[in-house]
Chains A and B, each alone.
Chain A
Amino acid sequence: MAEFHGYRRPHPGTQPDHLHRPYVSSIKRAPTKPLVELPHTLSEVTGPSFDSSMIDVKAGDLTKQEKGEPVGERIIVSGRVVDEDSRPVRHTLIEVWQANAAGRYRHAIDQHNAPLDPNFEGSGHALTDEQGRFRFISIRPGAYPWRNHYNAWRPAHIHFSVFGPAFATRLITQMYFPGDALLPFDPIFNCVSDESARNRLISVFDWETTMCEHALGYKFDIVLSGRHSTPWENK
């Protein structure tokens, strides 16, 4: 008989509600009826996987995807993907995307009046290694305005998408930069009541990964749901 453990539900205050009124777009898009709690079945404890044959090894360096060097401050973003029990999440796909140094995305609907950079596409991907580690080279993204409220500006951020081992562990998040003056005013960053949960979205400047005469290092660790210690047993 198959035996499996479900994944833990989030700790209160650490995950946003779907309706978050200060984020105006959530008002017409968040469900109005309560979610139906689903005990985890085989469909939730399994999940898609990606192997190295699907990965472009050059996709870890966002500064080397075009003919020339992108404009901006070079950065190295590295960290680990672990579960809530600190176990490494190995060989999982991470996808990243971001604005350029001027705060402009290479996307048809981004009409912000800031220059595009022909040498910066702004996307990358990689698999974590045996220890759950990853490393991207990029440029520091710029802040940009959005129309959520008068004079609204998004703090500089990089989008991160991570699968983890199961359908239940799927996560999309954003990484921010330490000391960003816009953070206290951003409704997306401030979507949860738990201050320490919010602060874990802010990367940490790191001397160890900073490369002399080349790029500043930032550390960003990602934690995915851990497994329950009590198994379900399928009879």
Chain B
Amino acid sequence: MTLRATTSQTVGPYFQIGLARFCVDDLTAPGVPGERIEIAGRVLDGDGEPIPDAVIEIWQADAEGTYPPEPDARETEGEIPNKDRKQSEKLAFRGYGRVPTGTDGTFRFKTIKPGRVPAPDGTLQAPHIAISIFMRGLLRRLVTRIYFPDDEANADDFALKLVEPTRRETLIAKQSVKQAGLLEWNVVMQGPSETVFFDV
């Protein structure tokens, strides 16, 4: 008989106690190839008020469109000799980040622009970052994606095509007018510019 997945529960207001250790706001590392980018934004509730107790998790491919291997795959590559270990850690792109929002609902992280990864229909997806959002008040995480402005590949993207055209822009970051190289992307929980969330 198959089991059933455990029921999700809210992260609550005090998640910093348990989740702080594995917070990562800079996914880049020396030697990791790719275009350096910085993404910042705010998480806003149904009244447009900032949400100060949310946490965003990031998962993305490297600049070539390759996801870091699962631990099992790494094991079969064998032990890395100690002297080479530092070097290999330096080069390894982990693709993982976690940033809590501040008291003003803001978050910010540095990463590299991901490459394109395949879609189930055989096409290549446009560069994107997979996002999980947890907060007090949400019993279950929300999933969304960040896409990049002015990327031609967005027009034919597997996931964007599932979204009503008028709502697609909620998934696409914007160039900041305040700071060169900064992308802005907000998470709007409710209202006319409500962010598109995916059921995964």
Chain A residues engaging chain B, CB cutoff 8 angstroms:
2, 8-11, 14-18, 20, 23, 25-33, 35-44, 46-51, 54, 59, 82-86, 90-91, 93, 95-97, 99, 105-107, 109-110, 121-125, 159, 161, 165, 167-168, 170-174, 188-189, 191-192, 197-198, 200-201, 222-226, 232, 234-235
B51/A201 in contact, CB under 8 A? no
Q: Is the CB of A224 within 8 A of B6?
A: yes
Docked Cα-Cα span, A197 to B3, in Å, equals: 10
User: B9-24: which have CB < 8 Å to A?
Assistant: 9-22
- Given the interface pairs A23-B139, A48-B59, A95-B22, the reply to whether A29 lies near B6 with Cβ below 8 Å is no
Instruction: Pick the contact of B200: A11, A38, A122 (CB < 8 A).
Output: A38
User: Which partner residue on chain A sits nearest B13 by CB separation?
Assistant: A109
**Extra contacts besides A30-B138, A172-B10 (17): CB < 8 Å:** A10-B4, A11-B5, A14-B5, A23-B10, A28-B49, A31-B195, A41-B119, A41-B125, A42-B117, A44-B130, A46-B70, A51-B74, A54-B22, A86-B2, A95-B19, A97-B15, A124-B18
**Complex A-B, nearest 8 residue pairs according to Cβ-Cβ distance, in ascending order:** A97-B18, A25-B137, A48-B96, A16-B139, A29-B137, A35-B199, A28-B46, A46-B67
| B21 and A123 contacting across the interface, CB-CB below 8 Å | yes
Q: Chain B, 47-91, contact with A by CB distance < 8 Å: what is the 0/1 string?
A: 101010100010111000001101110100000000000000000
Q: Please classify the interface of chain B as helix (H, G, I), strand (E, B), loop, or mixed, using the class held by over half of its residues.
A: loop
B residues apposed to A, CB below 8 Å: 2-22, 45-47, 49, 51, 53, 57, 59-61, 67-68, 70-72, 74, 94-96, 117-122, 125, 128, 130, 132, 134-143, 145, 158-159, 162-163, 167, 189-191, 194-200
